Amino acid sequence: MDSHELENTRIAFSKFATGVCIVTAAVDGKPVGMTVSSFNSVSLDPPLVLWSVGKHAPEYAAFCGVKNYVVHILSSDQIALSNRFATPGIDKFDSLDYELSGQNVPLIAGAITRFHCSTVHNYPAGDHNILVGSVDEIEQGRGESPLIYYCSDYRSVGEAIAG
Ligand SMILES: Cc1cc2nc3c(=O)[nH]c(=O)nc-3n(C[C@H](O)[C@H](O)[C@H](O)COP(=O)(O)O)c2cc1C
């Protein structure tokens, strides 16, 4: 595709509103994490989720190699955290208050829900890999005001409309 087609495709893809998550893991005891909007639920029984990691992402090798990771669904007051975990080349965990799970995965506070997952499938897909995770534990967090990403802007959920 030429650059014009790429940009048109990127804009068209951005018209699908999503939530925003931070996915964390540990590689040789070192915390890794990145912001993702590609998260989705797949199967209820057994509980499975998916998300995709770009081959360009600094964390690509890490997330393709780890078994355990935690998906944090972000709240609308966590934009700074989302931007931090989308910034390449910085120490994303510097001065950040976090705990460790039983598998040594960093747990960031303030998320709406946390899913503790283990990878069961890893499918190459173009310039990304699709990672399917089995949900091993769910932690319900606080509030009901998720962070939304739409047309490259952060938003919050609007009024419910009658169906
Ligand atoms: C709201 C938002 C959603 C994102 N979703 C994804 C995603 O689903 N998968 C992914 O690989 N990168 C995603 N990114 C990009 C990564 O968080 C990160 O910025 C990128 O990997 C940094 O490397 P780069 O600048 O070389 O692309 C997202 C970034 C933002 C701000």
In this predicted structure, what is the pLDDT of residue 163?
81
Mean pLDDT of the region 144-149: 94
Position 54 confidence tier, pLDDT thresholds 50, 70, 90: very high
For each of the domains in the chain, give its residue range(s) and CATH number, in order of start.
Answer: 3-156 (2.30.110.10)
Q: What is the Å distance from ligand 1's center to 161 Cα?
A: 31
Query: Of 10, 37, 129, 155, which is best to mutate to test ligand 1, by the most ligand atoms within 8 angstroms of its C-beta?
Result: 37
Instruction: Give residues (CB < 6 A) around ligand 1.
Output: 20, 34-38, 51-54, 56-58, 82, 86, 88, 149
Using the 8-state DSSP alphabet, how is residue 146 labeled? B
CA of 151 to the centre of ligand 1 (A): 14
Distance of CA 40 from the midpoint of ligand 1 (Å): 15
What length is written for the chain?
163
Percent pLDDT > 90 in the chain is 94
What is the predicted pLDDT for the residue at 107?
98
Quote the DSSP letter at residue 75. Answer: B
Q: What's the confidence (pLDDT) of residue 43?
A: 98
Tokens of 48: 């499975």
pLDDT tens sequence across 12-43: 999 999 999 999 999 999 999 999 999 999 99
Cβ proximity of 24 and 72 under 8 Å: yes
Q: How far, in Å, is the centroid of ligand 1 from the Cα of 163? A: 33
Predicted pLDDT of residue 60? 98
